[in-house]
């Protein structure tokens, strides 16, 4: 459950729901599917998707705090590198949030269906 606390930090519950990835295979998107499979070949990037699914849009610093709690990434550079791999594979989107004045990462909702 999400609850607002000081500094606009939203804690993430330990239990994760599930994500269902919807892909269509055809001759024209073989390279795209390869990038997605490569990105998902790392268990920590899969866990990263679950963090973002549960927490919604997140800037790098907030994502990294959550990843540290779950013992996924030890340093922010590794968090950044892996999030960028997920962006390059189109599993995540990265946009600028004018309110926080930060880049934020979010699940690409056109590829995923959220389950309970």
Residue 8 pLDDT level (bands cut at 50, 70, 90): very low
pLDDT in tens, 86-103: 999 999 999 999 999 999
CA neighbor of 21 nearest in space, from 89, 104, 79? 89
25: left (phi over 0), alpha (psi -120 to 50) or beta: beta
In this prediction the pTM is 0.78
Residues ≥6 apart with Cβ < 8 Å to 56: 2, 10, 106
Residue 84 pLDDT level (bands cut at 50, 70, 90): very high
Residues ≥6 apart with Cβ < 8 Å to 66: 12, 51, 55, 58
Start-to-end CA span in the chain (Å) = 13
Q: Would you state the pLDDT for residue 115? A: 61
d(CA 60, CA 72) in angstroms, rounded, equals: 14
pLDDT in tens, 16-40: 467 788 777 888 888 888 889 999 9
Within 10 angstroms of residue 98's Cβ, the number of other Cβ atoms is: 7
61, containing H or E segment:
helix 60-69
The structural domains of the chain, with segments of one domain joined by +, span 28-111
Look at domain 28-111 and name its CATH class.
mainly alpha
**pLDDT above 70 (res 71):** yes
């Amino acid at each position: 459950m999400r609850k607002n606390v000081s500094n606009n930090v939203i804690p993430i519950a330990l239990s994760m729901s599930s994500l269902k990835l919807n892909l269509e295979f055809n001759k024209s998107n073989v390279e795209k599917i390869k990038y997605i499979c490569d990105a998902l070949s790392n268990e920590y990037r899969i866990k990263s998707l679950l963090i973002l699914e549960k927490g919604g849009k997140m800037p790098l610093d907030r994502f990294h705090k959550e990843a540290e709690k779950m013992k996924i990434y030890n340093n922010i550079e590794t968090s950044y590198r892996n999030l960028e791999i997920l962006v390059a594979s189109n599993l995540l989107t990265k946009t600028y949030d004018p309110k926080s004045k930060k880049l934020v990462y979010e699940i690409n909702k056109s590829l995923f269906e959220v389950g309970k």
